[in-house]
Structure 1
């Protein structure tokens, strides 16, 4: 796994053309839900994966904003693809991938380990759960969630933020997958 950083002068740049988007439901203006919002800057938040080559010599390219991850079984093909990309775009070759936003990556022969220790600690702090005990199953047995709650009001935006953070954590912690699915 290799890391390339594309130098983008237009990242988060102002738009020359007029671009409008629908209002996010949680921020919709009451009584004006059908109105659209005009963007003043470009949006960059989509993840993409592309393939290059055939069968055994296939190279995968993962892209998020201006960070590229290049993966392939054949090191020669990976190096050739990186050189091809560097001729087409201005970019820095950062070598072997050891960090991706929120994920520490350890590469050893025949093994890749993904860790989210710091991300998990920040998430626990954000959720106010730093002093809770560790459990094997992160959910009460026979838990039933209801939209009609007797507990004090929970900020829906805060709840969605925690669920979104858990979604990212599931990438390296499949053991919380069921619980995540239940609360999302």
Structure 2
């Protein structure tokens, strides 16, 4: 379904390649496949090899013997800073879920551009963290 994810099978070995604009990550079951892929790509395109994956598309990646973990603390802190919310208190649920909302006729107008930017930032976070 993902048009930017590629799989190469060579016998019992495989190579997975994920591309997004000018970022590319790849993983394999055989070091020989990675070396050949990197060599071929370097002949065709200007690229730099970064070794172990630590950061991709705003996602932080930590690889340990217990597994690979993906998290977004850096992006979350940036969003809080961007919208001047670094001193905000955390809550398990940001609002009551069964309360009907009424228009605040005496309230201040909201900056539509900033509001949309906030919603977009939160949607990006929830794409990886459905528990948010």
More contact order relative to length (CA 8 Å, sep ≥ 6): 1
Partners of 2:98 and 2:75 lie apart in 1 by: 29
Query: 2:28 maps to what in 1?
Result: 72
Partners of 2:104 and 2:13 lie apart in 1 by: 55
Is 1:54–2:9 an aligned residue pair?
yes
Q: SS at the partner of 2:4? A: strand
Query: 1:98 maps to what in 2?
Result: 54
List, as ranges, runs of 4+ consecutive aligned residues in structure 1 with deviation greater than 6 Å. Answer: none
For residues 175 and 96 of structure 1, do their structure 2 counterparts lie closer, same or farther at Cα, with a shift above 3 Å needed? same
**TM-score normalized by structure 1?**
0.57
Cα deviations by residue, 1:85-141 (Å, 9 ceiling, x for unpaired): 122222111111112243221112351112222211121222332222221223333
Give the Å deviation of 1:169.
1.5
Is 1:140–2:85 an aligned residue pair?
no
**TM-score normalized by structure 2?**
0.75
Query: 2:64 maps to what in 1?
Result: 108
Retained in 2: the 8 A contact 1:59–1:78? yes
Give the Å deviation of 1:64.
2.5
Give the Å deviation of 1:74.
3.8
RMSD: 2.8
Q: SS at the partner of 1:60? A: strand
Q: SS at the partner of 2:78? A: helix
Correspondences of 1:151-170 after superposition (within 5 Å): 151-170=107-126
Give the Å deviation of 1:143.
4.4
